[in-house]
Structure formats: C-alpha cells, structure tokens
C-alpha cells in the first residue's frame, strides 16, 4: 500500500491495530514517522526538511551507506539516502520473533551511474518492521554481488533523529567510560568520564565499541527510548545546537537528539557473495 507523501514522493505506511504506525519513503528508504499507540510522534523531522531529491530528508532515520560523513571520497554520508529504493514484493518470511509484525522490504542496487562513483555491485535489503507492541525494527542485509570478485569496504549508520521535549532535559545512558572520537576536534580520541551524557552546546561524537543497548531519557516528557543494536558497534551522538543548517529551523536543535547505531571505526569488508547483517530496534516507554 503505497501512498503519496510530500511533493508526491511515494511512501509506505505500516500500522498496528492498537494505533502505532511507521512511515517510510522509498526515497532513501527513509523512515520519517514512528508513532506510538497514542498517536504521538517519536521521531524528529524538521519543519524545513526538503523533500526534494537529491537533498536528503532532514530528520527521521536516514540510512548512511556506504560512507559515514566524509571518511572517504564520496559525498558526505554516502548515497543510499539520496536514491530511490524499490519494494521487494517477494520478501523472505518473517522470523518467529516478529509474528504479527507488519513489514516492508526495500531494496537498493547500484545503477551504472553509481558504479562510476563507487565501483562495487551490491544489494542492500532493508526490512522495516513495526512490531505488535509498537517497537520499530530495521534489519539490514548488504550483499557483495560483484561478479568480478572484488571485495568492498563500507561504513554505515542509522542516523536516527529522536523527538525530545527539550534537549536540556535529555540524558543519554550506556556510553559512560567509553572512548569516543570528537568530530568537533578533528576526530581526536577521548574517554568519556561523566556518569551520563547531557548536551549543552554543539555535540558530535562517535562513541566506540558501545554496548548493545543505549537509553535516552526525556525527563520533561517522562519518556524513555531504548536503542538496541546488533552488528553496529559504534554510536554517534549529535546535536548541532545553534549551528546554521539550511533545512533546520533556528530552534529545532532543542527538539531533537541524534543517537545513531553505526559501524564506523572498523569499516566492514565484504568479499564477493558475502552478506553483512545488522539490526536496530527502537522502543519507548514511560
């Protein structure tokens, strides 16, 4: 069930009978909405977001592949978020853990144009599942389909923008005592000393070898987000604060925090025929 979203771009809406829902655009395989059973939006999307290719959508969950940031020769954050994905109408069956989950499988394969900038054939299958209880699950399967027998290497992130009541009321837990690369200081390596992470100015760090669960507390809303991840060892925490960004409102930074499940420090290498699997599960409670 494809419907038209902003600017006529195709999107899929997944719904559970208790009222939770997810919206995903085929452009970028970009999740732009995740609502709980009360209809409350859990993801942040900028009111200035530009739903016009080739610009990536500001907010939601951009898929960052095959390059995180400027860590290579491609445009920043790669090209998966700037491509039109297709729907796989013959997806593999669901595993027992997600019986009664509603899902869509989206596919991305490189075009001849893409091969000029990144000469590697791949198939990226992203399954977006809305679980019966309203949790959102993203499973990624990336296969090296290069017939020439060349391996390729990539970095990756689910660049999730969570909606928060006010950034000053937010704590991120689970990253204490870990090493991080500070993007604001030439990616120098530091160790986190605080018991918890709070954000009071521009913040842009890649935490390394992080545990499978990270928690975001929104004290004002009394909401807790849980980020569970598999195959994604790193975690980026980003808030631009008052930095000027064309498709972000001047005060938008107050209402968002990016906590991104990622594979950055140790890029992933796939030999021909090999498949890389990763999973992100987002849940919320009060």
Q: State in angstroms the smallest separation of the CB of 258 from ligand TA6.
A: 6
Q: Cβ closer to ligand TA6: 72 or 91? A: 72
Q: Cβ closer to ligand TA6: 74 or 107? A: 74
Q: Name the pairing type of β-strands 179-182 and 188-191.
A: antiparallel
Which among 77, 159, 226, 265 is annotated as catalytic?
159
Q: Cβ closer to ligand TA6: 130 or 172? A: 172
Which residues contact ligand TA6 (rule: CB under 6 A)? Answer: 56, 69, 76-77, 159, 183, 204, 236, 238, 258, 260
Q: Name the maximum alpha-carbon separation found in the chain.
A: 55
50-85 in b/e burial notation, b at 16+ Cβ within 10 A?
Answer: ebeeeebbbbbbbbbbbbbbeebeeeebbbbbbbeb
Q: Cβ closer to ligand TA6: 146 or 260? A: 260
Q: How far is CA 46 from the centre of its chain?
A: 15
Q: Cβ closer to ligand TA6: 56 or 102? A: 56
Q: State in angstroms the smallest separation of the CB of 243 from ligand TA6.
A: 9
Q: How far apart are CA 80 and CA 117, in angstroms?
A: 13
Q: State in angstroms the smallest separation of the CB of 213 from ligand TA6.
A: 20
Q: Cβ closer to ligand TA6: 102 or 258? A: 258
Q: State in angstroms the smallest separation of the CB of 204 from ligand TA6.
A: 5
Residue corresponding to tokens 């928060």: 164
By beta-carbon distance, which residue lies closest to ligand TA6?
238
Q: State in angstroms the smallest separation of the CB of 197 from ligand TA6.
A: 15
Q: State in angstroms the smallest separation of the CB of 236 from ligand TA6.
A: 4
Which among 30, 77, 260, 281 is annotated as catalytic?
260
Is 158 considered catalytic here? no
Is 112 considered catalytic here? no
- The residues carrying an active-site annotation are 159, 260
């Amino acid at each position: 069930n494809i419907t038209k979203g902003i600017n006529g771009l195709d999107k899929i809406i997944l719904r559970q009978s208790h009222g939770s829902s997810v919206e995903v655009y085929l452009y970028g395989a970009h999740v732009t909405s995740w609502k709980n059973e009360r209809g409350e939006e859990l993801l942040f999307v900028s009111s200035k977001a530009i739903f016009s290719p080739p610009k990536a959508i500001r907010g939601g969950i951009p898929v960052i592949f095959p390059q995180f940031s400027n860590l290579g020769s491609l445009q920043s954050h790669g090209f998966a978020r700037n491509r039109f994905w297709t729907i796989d109408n013959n997806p593999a069956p669901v595993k027992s853990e997600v019986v009664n989950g509603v899902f869509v499988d989206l596919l991305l394969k490189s075009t001849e144009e893409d091969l000029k900038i990144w000469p590697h054939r791949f198939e990226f299958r992203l399954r977006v599942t809305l679980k019966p209880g309203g949790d959102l699950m993203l499973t990624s399967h990336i296969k090296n389909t290069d017939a020439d027998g060349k391996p390729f290497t990539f970095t990756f992130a689910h660049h999730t923008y969570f909606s928060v009541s006010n950034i000053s009321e937010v704590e991120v837990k689970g990253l204490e005592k870990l090493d991080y690369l500070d993007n604001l200081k030439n990616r120098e390596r530091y160790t986190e000393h605080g018991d918890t992470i709070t954000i009071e100015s521009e913040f842009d760090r890649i935490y390394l070898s992080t545990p499978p669960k990270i928690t975001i507390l929104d004290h004002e809303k009394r909401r807790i987000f849980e980020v569970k991840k598999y195959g994604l060892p790193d975690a980026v925490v980003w808030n631009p604060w008052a930095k000027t960004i064309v498709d972000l409102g001047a005060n938008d930074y107050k209402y968002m925090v990016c906590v991104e499940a990622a594979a950055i420090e140790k890029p992933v290498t796939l030999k021909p025929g090999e498949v890389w699997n990763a999973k992100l599960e987002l849940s919320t409670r009060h």
